[in-house]
Amino acid sequence: MIVLKSISSLQNALAKARAKDLKIGFVPTMGALHKGHISLLERCRDQNSICICSIFVNPTQFDDQKDLDNYPITIDEDKKLLEKVNCSYLFLPSTEEIYPNGTLLGNLNLDGLDKIIEGESRPGHFQGVAHVLHRFFELIQPHKAYFGQKDFQQTVVVKTLVNNYHLKPEIIVCPIVREKSGLAFSSRNERLPKKARDNGGFIFETLQEIKYRALNGESLRNLISEKIDFLNTKEQTKVDYLISVNTTNLQEVDDLKKGETVLLTVVEHYGVRLLDNLIIN
Ligand code: AMP
């Protein structure tokens, strides 16, 4: 694997791939790689001749400075994992390389999808995500880019970005990879006390129960309200949101007949924001 730190070295490497008309796949990450990231990289490697992973802790997508300061950095371990999955290039740019004119950003048109749900809890987050991806997609011009369903709203925002700005990649969404307990893998899981992490499957179990009972005819609205109350009684647990939305436009829905519906949730557990989701139908 070749590590590229500058845009010029990236462009040189890609020029050779483009001259040979090789398929380029791209997996953007913020590092601290785990099995969720690896599943994206394996898919990318299998579907393309060139597999590029970026590790960039993007400052513009953090609405909380403390969260940015505490973000785990494990580059040496990450490189070993990337070698193991036969990643071709690691793009590891500095903040100055990505934002030469500073990090004050204009507004990208994301059809308002950046302002609802997670965007309401974390103002500016999706604008930051969209800006850095716009930059990466223009620099790399990948044929395919890989994202985890774990960040469901992000996948919808990224598809909107690509569509609204006529960007190149096809967006491939990969399934959520979970720890043994059922807790979705996340770099943030490291911050949970061990016991809480080992018992972290309760969020997924709750989503599965809502799905099962909703498919058996119970009202989604009642189920969600029952389960928010249930989750809030657990130790050190507070639901930020738990809602059912249309998978394409993210508008809230109560009626499964109105199209494909997904449950989205963020639960704060021992001070850690845990995201999860489950498609119902
Ligand atoms: P991050 O490094 O957190 O920005 O994540 C990089 C990519 O990995 C995003 O597309 C995430 O959705 C994806 N990802 C993170 N956790 C998981 C997981 N548990 N399963 C599948 N994909 C994941």
Per cent of the chain over pLDDT 90 is 97
Count of residues making up the chain: 281
Residues 140, 168: Cα–Cα separation, whole Å: 10
| Radius of gyration from C-alpha coordinates of the chain | 19
Predicted TM-score (pTM) above 0.85:
yes
Instruction: Give the mean pLDDT of 67-84.
Output: 96
Residues whose CB falls within 8 Å of the CB of residue 232, separated by 6 or more in sequence, listed in order: 238, 239
pLDDT digits over 118-146, tens only? 999 999 999 999 999 999 999 999 999 99
Residue whose CA is closest, atom 14 of ligand 1? 148
In the beta sheet, which residues pair with residue 26? 52, 145
| Residue 159 to residues 30, 91, 135, 214, Cα–Cα distance (Å) | 19, 22, 15, 28
Atom 18 of ligand 1: nearest residue by CA position: 36
pLDDT digits (tens, 9 = 90+) for 255-272: 999 899 999 999 999 999
Q: Return mean pLDDT, the chain.
A: 97
Q: Write down the pLDDT at residue 140.
A: 98
- Ligand 1, residue 149: give the atom nearest the CA: 12
Provide residues with CB under 6 Å of ligand 1: 29-30, 36-37, 39-40, 147-148, 150-151, 174, 176-177, 184-187
Q: Which amino acid is at 138?
A: E
Q: What is the DSSP secondary-structure string of 117-142?
A: THHHHSTTHHHHHHHHHHHHHHHH--
| 67/43: higher pLDDT | 43
Catalytic residues: 37
Q: Which of 29, 53, 278 is the pocket-test mutation for ligand 1 (most atoms within 8 Å of CB)?
A: 29
| Cα–ligand 1 centroid distance for 216 (angstroms) | 31
Q: What pLDDT, on the 0 to 100 scale, is given for residue 104?
A: 78
Residue 62 has a pLDDT of 96
Residue 232 parent element (H or E): helix 220-232
The number of helices, as runs of H, and strands, as runs of E, in the chain is 11, 9
The partner residues of 263 in beta bridges, in order of sequence, read 244, 278
Out of 151, 178, 189, 272, mutate this one to test ligand 1's pocket (max ligand atoms within 8 Å of CB): namely: 151
Q: Name residues whose C-beta falls within 8 Å of residue 65's C-beta, 6 or more positions apart in sequence.
A: none
- CA–centroid distance, 96 to ligand 1, in Å, is 24
> What DSSP state is assigned to residue 143?
S
Q: Which helix (H) or strand (E) holds 209?
A: helix 202-215
Question: In whole angstroms, what is the distance from residue 58 CA to residue 55 CA?
Answer: 9
CA separation for the pair 38, 226 (Å, rounded): 36
